[in-house]
């Protein structure tokens, strides 16, 4: 009689501290479990330091799509080098794909915004936007759209923003409805359509909106659809939730235009944010003088 392997269950426990994730990598802690992946804090014997490792969940190891996305993210990150994008150290291909990443201190923008009692300073929000513009512009020059810009995919480390999780990044193309995270999706993601740099501009706007106000622009449900068409449940008005200078309001709300062609280009958005920072700091210097 031939023995058959018992399929892994969705509730199977992740690896524990001290377990080996792969040769040369010992688990320090399990950080989180997503729909397809487990993320671990690991010790690299070769590098003699801590790293982050992304691996398929036990019940998803046999999934061709999960393995393909993990390998794709690893190869992409290994090909990129940018101060505002998480750096990959290694892609372990066999027996199961594992992506090994640098450890970034700090916290996600999502955690930062909701932990603080006071809202983020406006200059910090502008700097956040400039760093995201720098990162996504680099991706776009390499023919890649991130597609999943959201506060939990941005880490703030002593004033420096780093973009993480390129697991669904792809070339500009037509996509079916629902690619991305619901409450941060642009209309072309909700309805299905052509994604491109304009989609990431929307994502930057959504991150900055939440960083400024503490809530996503269209509520927890995001843009709703009715008979196949996008329905705007809440008009994204930053000023209705926080007093802000008009130039910063215009920069953020311009990203959230339903018409993709009406959104600013990434470099244009970066210049607007840079102009706001310069004017703000200049005003502070003049006041101090």
User: Residue 84's domain is classified under what CATH number?
Assistant: 3.30.200.20
The number of residues making up the chain comes to 289
* DSSP 8-class letter at 35: S
89 lies in the same domain as 208: no
- Residue 1 placed within a domain: no
Report how many domains make up the chain: 2
217 lies in the same domain as 94: no
From 36, 38, 148, 165, the catalytic residue:
148
34 lies in the same domain as 130: no
Distance CA 265, CA 127 (A): 17
Using the 3D structure, point to which of 80, 101, 122 is the last residue of a domain.
Answer: 101
Distance CA 251, CA 287 (A): 25
Residue with tokens 């600013």: 264
Q: For residue 86, what are the domain limits?
A: 20-101
148 is catalytic: yes
- Residue 34 placed within a domain: yes
Report the 10 Å Cβ neighbour count for 248. Answer: 25
| pTM, to two decimals | 0.90
88 lies in the same domain as 119: no
Rounded to the nearest 10 degrees, how much is the dihedral formed by the CA atoms of 263, 268, 270, 274? -120
pLDDT in tens, the chain (289 residues): 444 445 566 678 999 999 999 999 999 999 999 999 999 999 999 999 999 999 999 999 999 999 999 999 999 999 999 999 999 999 999 899 999 999 998 999 999 999 998 999 999 999 999 999 999 999 999 999 999 999 999 999 888 999 999 999 999 999 999 999 999 999 999 999 999 999 999 999 999 999 999 999 988 888 876 555 666 655 568 888 899 999 999 999 999 999 999 999 999 999 999 999 999 887 766 665 4
């Amino acid at each position: 009689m031939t023995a058959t392997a018992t399929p892994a269950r969705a509730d199977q426990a992740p690896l524990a501290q001290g377990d080996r994730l792969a040769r040369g990598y010992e688990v320090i802690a399990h950080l989180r479990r997503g729909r397809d992946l487990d993320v671990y804090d690991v010790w690299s014997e070769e590098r003699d330091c801590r790293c982050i490792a992304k691996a398929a969940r036990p019940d998803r190891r046999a999934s061709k799509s999960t393995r393909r996305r993990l390998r794709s993210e690893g190869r992409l990150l290994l090909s990129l080098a940018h101060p505002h994008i998480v750096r990959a150290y290694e892609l372990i291909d066999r027996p199961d794909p594992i992506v090994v990443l640098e450890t970034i201190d700090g916290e996600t923008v999502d955690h930062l915004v909701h932990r603080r009692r006071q809202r983020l300073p406006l200059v910090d929000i502008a700097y956040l936007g400039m760093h995201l513009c720098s990162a996504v512009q680099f991706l776009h020059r390499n023919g890649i759209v991130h597609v999943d810009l959201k506060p939990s995919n941005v880490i703030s480390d002593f004033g420096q923003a780093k973009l993480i999780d390129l697991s669904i990044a792809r070339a500009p193309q037509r996509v079916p409805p629902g690619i991305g995270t619901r409450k941060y999706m642009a209309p072309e993601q909700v309805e299905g359509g052509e994604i491109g740099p304009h989609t990431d501009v929307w994502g930057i706007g959504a991150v900055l909106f939440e960083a400024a106000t503490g809530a996503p622009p269209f509520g927890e449900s995001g843009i709703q659809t009715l008979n196949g068409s996008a329905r705007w449940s809440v008009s994204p008005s930053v000023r209705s939730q926080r007093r802000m200078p008009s130039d910063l309001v215009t920069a953020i709300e311009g990203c959230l235009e339903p018409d993709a062609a009406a959104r600013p280009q990434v470099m244009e958005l970066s210049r607007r944010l840079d102009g706001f920072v310069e004017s703000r700091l200049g005003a502070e210097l003049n006041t101090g003088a």
